[in-house]
Amino acid sequence: MSFRVKTVGDDGYGRLGELQTSHGDVETPALFPVVNLIGGTTHESGGVWRRMREKLISKDHLQGVMFQTMSFTDYGVSPENLNEFWRPRTFYEHFEDLNAPVFIDSGGFKLMNSNTFGEAPEKGGTPNEWGLYTDPKSILGLQLDFGADIVATLDYPIPPDLKEEEKVERMERSIDSAVECLRILDDPSRLEENFEINSRAAERLRERKAAGEEPSVYIALHGHDYETINWYVGTFIERVADLELDSSFEGFAVGSLVPLRSSMDVLVDIVQGAKDAIPEARDDELGLHVFGVGGKQVGLLSLLGVDSFDCSTHMQTARYKKYTHPESWSHYKLDELSGELRPDGSFPCDLPECLLCGDDGVSYEKLLEELNTDLTYDERQERKENDEPIKSDYYALLARHNFEVYNEELRRVRDAIQEGNLLDYVIGFAREHDDIKKGLQEAQLRDKQLRNDVAAREAYDLLPGSSLTSDQATLSKWDAGVEKDTNSRRISLKHHPSDFNVLTRSYEPQGDKDTLLFIPCSQKKPYSKSRTHSVLFDKLGSRSDDIQKVTISGMYGPVPQECERADPVLEYDYVLAKEDKEQIELVTDRTVDFLEAYGEQYDTILGYVTSKTYRQVLENAFDRYGRGETLPRDPKALQLTEYFRNSNVQELLDYLDSSADGVTRD
């Protein structure tokens, strides 16, 4: 099983790919609707989920379905029923008409919020009657018994506002779990160690490996910002590179995104963090999936390199009797939809695959009546005996319509990639939807090429910080004043290096510091509140009392900590790029000038930097000044993930401790 990119759009945006599975290839970008294949104790159980399943599981209509591993706990399934009825046969054996690939999530959120499925007994946990534990062997065994074509590794989700040390611990456990999953796929016997219930799954895995049909693996990961997710991806890739494994993985699956669907700037930042951590040499062979996002965001996220999506919103909205408008994307309560109907009273929908709104569907009046009528048990049984629809069938039709709105959008995005005009499509879409506009503006802050391409299309209203309307933009130029509110701060793209230069200010360093430490700037302002700065100084601990921190700004050069809240420093957004030769020279010159003005006040001068361009600035500045040490001395790569590597941070700590003890480094 493997993933590969077949083509990239002619405009440089979006990609069409292919993920091989044992039940057919998935053509990406793809949308996996969430379907509860286990809705109760038998095949006939499940109510609206069963009827929705029956209307969606054909491979002729979609690329695949998503099943959440632990969702059966919501439907009265007992341990005996699970282990004696559901697990002995795969979903493909249970449902003869299922011919679409099944992507099975690990159920991390369910496990996190349950006291039943704790640690495995071998790790000191308490045995339970399910034989299921929060353990990669246990969960992978269940996924294999279900017959998964694609699996997401067992993850440990990160709730918002979790303490930093707990966040890091959970990320590291998720990475350990993913590594163990790959080891199991290499050696199925590991699946059976201390898990007798997995013997069947182990045998199935051996058979699938022999046939070249072992499941595709997506590494589940979480993070609430660019830096966290970037560290996560880079650290996992590094861990796997150090192992001798035959089994591979096909991509990454980003979780914890459902609460962020309305915060497109944060969502975009996370996706960019994941993509930027994937080595360029492997970009075409690693897919990126986003959990719980699959509506009107698919165009923008495909533009940024996302390959697959899943969502259950079509079902959730239907259960609240809400109809998704195909043009406005608004969710209308059915009893408030009458004003949106066409003059003939029909639904405002021409989607070719919609089973609700077409000539053979159901009228608005009929749908409203059936969903507002409660039948007795005897009346429901009578309808079933006469093969007549019941309320669940009407809910399923509404859910199918809502899904078709999402699925049709994905088709349009695929067509735009194929035709080489995805950016033009997203620009048009962003002008109609403020949240997509916000996300597109955020994406340009880190992607200069995207910003240049948006400007080249004269979409000035969509440039970062613009408050123009599309009509005003046709009369505007890039040098029109632009500002925006991002993460509770104002930014301006009109700032120039002359707006701040510490050497032209009445700056005097604190006289009681022994060490001058330079570190790179961050997008978040003030710098000290960013993850890169705060994490490092948390690890420095009491050592920071003797450190004068100076941030190297790609725009302004040296920015001492006392100057971080100056308006030009708070407001600018700029990342120093390798092609900006003149700006690199300016920042280097200012750093040398700063050292010549203040360097003699410090016993030790250091730079801690792992990004290539900023490291180049410091190394050249130290060389010209004649003093200064750049750490880490020998990073494995010049990228952000190295900044957080424990061994690199420890090298900095050891250097500071040695300097404090009077050890000479020269």
pLDDT tens digits for range 425-441: 999 999 999 999 999 99
The whole-angstrom distance between residue 505's C-alpha and the CA centroid of its chain comes to 42
pLDDT at 663 over 70: no
pLDDT at 609 over 90: yes
Strands 30-33 and 65-68, by their bridges, are: unpaired
The whole-angstrom distance between residue 70's C-alpha and the CA centroid of its chain comes to 21
Give the contacts of 433 (CB within 8 A, at least 6 positions apart).
Answer: 296, 329
Q: Give residue-wise pLDDT tens across range 516-530.
A: 999 999 888 999 988
pLDDT at 225 over 90: no
- The per-residue pLDDT for 363 is 95
Cα 337 to Cα 353, 358, 651, distances in angstroms? 21, 17, 64
Per-residue pLDDT band for 467 (boundaries 50, 70, 90) equals low
Q: Give residue-wise pLDDT tens across range 497-510.
A: 999 999 988 888 87
- The per-residue pLDDT for 474 is 42
pLDDT average, residue stretch 71-80: 91
Q: Give residue-wise pLDDT tens across range 468-486.
A: 655 444 433 333 333 333 3
Per-residue pLDDT band for 356 (boundaries 50, 70, 90) equals very high
Tally Cβ neighbours within 10 Å of residue 162: 14
The whole-angstrom distance between residue 455's C-alpha and the CA centroid of its chain comes to 27
pLDDT average, residue stretch 214-225: 90
Per-residue pLDDT band for 269 (boundaries 50, 70, 90) equals very high
Single pTM value for the model = 0.76
**Which residue's entry shows tokens 């509770």?**
488
Per-residue pLDDT band for 1 (boundaries 50, 70, 90) equals low
- The per-residue pLDDT for 218 is 96
Percent of the chain with pLDDT over 70: 93
- The per-residue pLDDT for 483 is 31
pLDDT at 665 over 50: no
Q: Give residue-wise pLDDT tens across range 373-393.
A: 988 888 888 988 888 888 999
Structural domains of the chain sorted by starting position, each given as residue range(s) with its CATH number in brackets: 3-311 (3.20.20.105), 320-417 (no CATH), 421-492 (no CATH), 510-660 (3.40.50.10630)
491 compared with 446, residue with greater pLDDT:
446
pLDDT at 629 over 80: yes
How far is Cα 655 from Cα 626, in angstroms, rounded to an integer? 19
Q: Using N-to-C axis directions, what is the helix angle for 434-446 and 422-430, rounded to 10°?
A: 130
Q: Give residue-wise pLDDT tens across range 575-591.
A: 887 777 889 999 999 99
How far is Cα 518 from Cα 607, in angstroms, rounded to an integer? 5
List the Cα angle 5/9/13 in 5-degree steps. 95
pLDDT at 402 over 70: yes
Buried b (16+ CB within 10 A) or exposed e, 520-532: bbbbbbbbeebbb
Tally Cβ neighbours within 10 Å of residue 246: 9
User: In this predicted structure, which of 102-106, 304-308, 481-485 has the lowest mean pLDDT?
Assistant: 481-485
The whole-angstrom distance between residue 137's C-alpha and the CA centroid of its chain comes to 25
User: In this predicted structure, which of 14-28, 48-62, 273-287, 634-648 has the lowest mean pLDDT?
Assistant: 48-62
Cα 500 to Cα 507, 555, 559, distances in angstroms? 12, 9, 9
- The per-residue pLDDT for 478 is 31
Of the ranges 56-60, 106-110, 395-399, which is most confident? 395-399
pLDDT at 449 over 90: yes
pLDDT average, residue stretch 390-411: 93
506 compared with 630, residue with greater pLDDT:
630
Cα 64 to Cα 98, 309, 324, 332, distances in angstroms? 10, 11, 22, 28
**Over the chain, what is the mean pLDDT?**
88
Half-sphere exposure for 634 (CA within 13 Å, toward CB) = 0
Q: Using an 8 Å Cβ cutoff, are 430 and 440 in contact? A: yes
pLDDT at 243 over 50: yes
- Write out the E strands in 59-210: 65-68, 102-105, 150-152
Give the contacts of 315 (CB within 8 A, at least 6 positions apart).
Answer: 34, 48, 49, 52, 399, 402, 403
- The per-residue pLDDT for 486 is 36
Give the contacts of 235 (CB within 8 A, at least 6 positions apart).
Answer: 175, 641, 644, 645
How far is Cα 485 from Cα 473, in angstroms, rounded to an integer? 19
How far is Cα 120 from Cα 195, in angstroms, rounded to an integer? 9
Q: Using an 8 Å Cβ cutoff, are 100 and 148 in contact? A: no
- The per-residue pLDDT for 59 is 55
- The per-residue pLDDT for 644 is 84
